Amino acid sequence: MYIYIDIINEFTCEMCGSCCRNDWQVTMDEESYRRNYQLFLRNGKEEEFFNIFIPIIGKVELGEYAYIRKKTEGGCWFLEENHLCRLHQEAGHNHLDTVCQIFPRYPMNTSRGKELTLSFSCPAVVKIASRVRPLEIIRSKVEPMLLHANQEVAHVYPDQQSSYHPLRYYFEIEHHIIDLLQYRKITIEERIQLVKETIKKILHLPQNETFKQSFNTIIYDNYLYLDEKDDVIAAVSHCTPDILIENFLINFVFKKPLYLYGLQSGLHLLDTMWRQIKSERINDTNGSTEMERISTLIMNLEFHYSHNRSTLLTSILL
């Protein structure tokens, strides 16, 4: 089963080069390192290879063996003035390391199937997510994109949790949070507050035989509360900052931070992002529109979550 956010079907790389200019370090495994060595050796560029591909010394993450040197001005060594990748043009897409092959796609391996979405650090993704229609989660037996083995960036198996652990019910929690965040009859502020209150209630449930019934009661009471709401926000014909924020948060929750880091840390991360978004909404120092400011902030938040997550989480948890 493939489960994915529908915007993945709409994505096309616009070749803007933004991802190749970011300050992340593009790493590769040993197999990719050796493959590039053979390419440069055949092309008579062995000296350039050793100048560009730098083995990582010391403790590294799984699958990280070397990184690609950047140019003096900060972009990837292979980024040309026309925004194209020289390595891609010379050797083809399949030659690239895993990071460059799949970005901004975000594949996950879970107990219910392969799950996929996109990273909002890419400007093209933010553009297609700037729509009025709510994001939709698709379930299909048809693969929406070609995936190779071991390209998943997250592994989620809630059934491995103990019987009364909240994360055993993670998929139910995720589904409910997405329902709350997409309920447009209340403000985005109210929706996020309801999400926070819900997670806190779940965290305080006793982990015993009463857990499942108490958990279901929380979910039921939320839907009952929403059914009784009389507030109706006027429909709009264009994407507003609130809708873009909603879509960003839906996508963020779908990337499973509340499972990967636990409900408490995931909630703290979500709340920190929301406070930064609220602060940016009232910041009008550069003359840009609110939509432009929110778009830029969302790309920055996503960048730090996806590529500087260890630093981000450390700062949040202190």
Of 222, 121, 242, 120, the closest CA to residue 180 belongs to: 222
- Amino acid letter for position 271: D
Of 159, 155, 156, 197, the closest CA to residue 176 belongs to: 197
Q: How large is the C-alpha radius of gyration of the chain?
A: 22
For the cut 90, the answer to whether the pLDDT of residue 156 exceeds it is yes
For the ranges 80-89, 159-168, 299-308, 309-318, which has the lowest average pLDDT?
Answer: 309-318
Question: What pLDDT score does 303 carry?
Answer: 82
Which pTM was predicted?
A: 0.85
Question: What pLDDT score does 85 carry?
Answer: 85
CA–CA distance, 75 with 241 (Å, rounded to integer):
30
Q: Where are the alpha helices (DSSP H) in 103-187?
A: 123-129, 170-181
CA–CA distance, 311 with 179 (Å, rounded to integer):
30
For the cut 70, the answer to whether the pLDDT of residue 178 exceeds it is yes
Given pLDDT bands bounded at 50, 70 and 90, which one contains residue 284? low
For the cut 80, the answer to whether the pLDDT of residue 207 exceeds it is yes
Span 217-244, pLDDT tens digits: 999 999 999 998 776 667 788 999 999 9
CA–CA distance, 296 with 283 (Å, rounded to integer):
13
Span 47-60, pLDDT tens digits: 999 999 989 887 66
Mean of the per-residue pLDDT values for the chain?
Answer: 87
In the chain, what are the domain boundaries? 2-10+103-156, 27-96
Question: What pLDDT score does 125 carry?
Answer: 94
Q: What is the mean pLDDT of residues 308-317?
A: 51
For the ranges 26-30, 95-99, 138-142, 314-318, which has the lowest average pLDDT?
Answer: 314-318
For the ranges 86-90, 242-246, 264-268, 298-302, which has the lowest average pLDDT?
Answer: 86-90
- Which range of 99-113, 190-204, 216-230 scores highest in mean pLDDT? It is 190-204
User: Of all helices (H) and strands (E), which one includes residue 317?
Assistant: helix 309-317
